[in-house]
Amino acid sequence: MKAHVRLLPLFLLSFLALAACPLRAQDWVHTGTNLGNQRIRLAVADFKPVGAEAQTPSLKATFDSTLQSDLAHAGLFDMVSKSMMPESRPGSPQEISINQWSSMPTNASMVTFGALAASNGRLIVYGWLFDTHNGANPQILAKQYNEAANVEMARTVAHRFADEIIYRLGGGINGISETKIYFVSSRSGSKEIWAMDYDGQNQHQVTHLGSIALSPRISPDGSRLAFAALDRGGWSIRMYSVELGRMIGFPAGVGGGSNLSPAWSSNGAKLAFSSSRSGDSEIWVASASGGGLHRVTTFRGPDVAPTWNPKTNGQIAWASGRTGLPQIYTMSEDGSSVQRITDGGYAVSPSWSPSGQFLAFSWNRKYGPGDPGGNDIHIIDIASKQYLQLTHESGSNDFPSWAPDNRHIVFERRVGHRSDIWTMLSDGTDQHQLTRSGNNFMPNWSWK
């Protein structure tokens, strides 16, 4: 009994000590900055229907909504809402009264308007872009389109007109309205490569292999699609020709081991991928036809997910596990000058921005015991190593891919058991979902 009595105070002390440790939740801070200049205030007027054909109203509705959505998601404009616009629908420069659009409540700096007619099976669209503050010389753009009269061409014409406006007002960078996104979808039963327009329209299946196909990468000229496929021999890099509509050969992609995550250089000449044919997964580089295969990394630990610097094609960034958890590294194309980019956590799936300045990747900074879970998309300025978190507390975000205008990023978001493709501006705003059926993974934005 004495021993028990002696033990009791010690037990009570330890109990009290343990009870005093509170549990902490993981918090984050979300902040933003003012970049110093203002968005252009743009009013998109409904186009005026001309003629009395039955198709015209529906085609016009498609055209108007597509044009509005393209310009709203471009990231350049402060859109005037429909309720603030004057009720007139000008169809030509003679019909528009500039002062109506530049005065309150509209207060627009720019206005786009025009006329649309569907006659004899042809869709004819006239569009103008006017500067409302320049009464003497307001015209900036005047465009005319003549295409087949169907919903698809109405959308295409709207995309083209939006691209012209974005090119003119966005500093000479081409708009992305006609680009495509390639992704993996399991809605057909097996994981196949699918493609869709950048706004989520027109989703269609591309490959019909019946096995598993992952990480699609379209070539810079849009003619070939490289991806990793699982077949009897294991994982190999396969090539699909979009022009021919069938698989073509890529001898470097089948060589034993697991071959994953292909990446095109921006001139379309080379393909980098991760292969474990030498025993340990390393980065290998081959020419686009499959020859000239050589190994580039020699590190212990897995080396996966390469991405080229699209501005210079002289550097590759990839994720390496040579220090334990995967981190992002950059190196020269021949394997020298290895530089570490991330300082901890769990960093995967790097994607190099078209300007060459940023890397977007998926990062779990608090990986480890007590991890609240979830990866988030970050972008990092490679020269200064300053980074910015783009997604917050919304599932697990992975596989970012830059758009060719350097202003948009597409990524995969997994919430519970559902995975979908989302897109956002490159500062993390305007996040919206593109796919809604099945499970969708690993998006890749086309080059043009």
Partner 1 sequence: MNKAQHNSGDPELGLHPEPIAASATGSLVLHGILLAVVLGWGWAMGLFHHNDWGSQGEGSTMQVSLASDALPLPPTEVNKNVLSTETPSPAPAPPTPKPVEHIDDKAIPIASKVRQQTQPQQKQQPTQQKTQKNQPQPQRDNLAHYGEQSGSAIPHGVPKHGNFGPAQVGDSDFTSMFGWYVNQINQKMSQSWNRYEVDPRTPHGTRAFIAFVIHRDGSPTNIQMDRSSGSPTLDRSCLRGAQRIDTFGGLPPAYNQSTLKVSYYCEY
Subset of 341-400 contacting partner 1 (CB under 8 A): 355, 357-358, 365-366, 379-381, 383-384, 386-389
Tell the smallest beta-carbon distance from residue 126 to partner 1 (Å).
17
Q: Is the dihedral of CA 130, 131, 137, 139 positive or negative?
A: negative
The SS3 assignment for 413 reads strand
Distance, CA of 266 to CA of 219 (rounded, Å): 8
Choose the binding region for partner 1 from 51-59, 208-216, 268-276, 421-429 (rule: CB under 8 A): 421-429
Contact criterion met (CB below 8 Å) for 99 and 134 = no
Complex with partner 1: residue 162 or 213, whichever CB lies closer: 162
Q: How far is CA 2 from the centre of its chain?
A: 71
Question: Scanning residues 422 to 441, which ones bind partner 1 (CB under 8 A)?
Answer: 425-427, 429
Taking the complex as a whole, the smallest distance from the CB of residue 250 to partner 1 amounts, in Å, to 33
Q: Which CB, 194 or 346, lies closer to partner 1? A: 346
Report the alpha-carbon distance of residue 284 to residue 272 in Å, rounded: 6
Our CA dihedral for 201, 203, 204, 206, rounded to 10 degrees, sits at: 110
Question: Does residue 246 touch partner 1 according to CB under 8 A?
Answer: no
Report strand pairing: 77-79 vs 110-119.
unpaired
| Amino acid at the residue 59 | L
- The one-character DSSP state at 59 is H
Distances (CA, A) of 67 to 74, 166, 253: 11, 11, 42
User: Closer CB to partner 1, residue 298 or residue 355?
Assistant: 355
Start-end of H helices in 344-417: none
Note whether 137 binds partner 1 by CB under 8 A: yes
Convert residues 25-64 into a mask of x (bound to partner 1 by CB under 8 A) and - (unbound): xxxxxxxxxxxxxxxxx-----------------------
Residues 147-206 that bind partner 1 (CB under 8 A): 167-173
Q: Considering only residues 258-297, where is the footprint of partner 1 by CB under 8 A? A: none
Q: Considering the rule CB under 8 A, would residue 72 count as an interface residue with partner 1?
A: no
* Cβ-based nearer residue to partner 1, 122 or 392: 392
Give the interface segment with partner 1, choosing from 207-215, 263-271, 289-297, 405-413 (CB under 8 A). Answer: 405-413
Count of C-beta atoms within a 10 Å radius of residue 3: 7
What minimum distance in Å lies between the beta carbon of 371 and partner 1?
A: 11
